[in-house]
Amino acid sequence: MVRPLRSKGVMAWVDSVPMPVVRAIGLAELLGAAGLVLPPLTGVGPWLAPAAAVGFVVLQIGATGVHLWLGDREVALNLTLLATAAVTVWLATTWL
């Protein structure tokens, strides 16, 4: 029998949410990454890149909230990713 892994440190939130939610977040991140990269490369659906960047902003706001709610005060990475996504939204909307 395979024992489930227990997360430590930064990924400790995984143990407090249902696995389908963790998988949905992972899928959203993969689709968001594809939405950031593929439209500029292919020229198809250029509106998808700013939409994906906005999705990442929302994702990081939620991630920061979950970390704070669980008592984890180490949110510097989340805030950095939030700022990066916000800059990406700004650049994508001003350069279209």
pLDDT in tens, 66-94: 888 888 888 999 999 999 999 999 988 88
Residue 41 binned pLDDT confidence (cut-offs 50, 70, 90) = very high
- Determine the average pLDDT of the residues in 33-41: 91
pLDDT beyond 70 at 45: yes
- Nearest 10 degrees: CA dihedral of 47, 94, 63, 18? 0
Contact (CB, 8 A) for 32 and 59: yes
pLDDT beyond 90 at 12: no
Give the pTM: 0.79
- Report the alpha-carbon distance of residue 18 to residue 7 in Å, rounded: 14
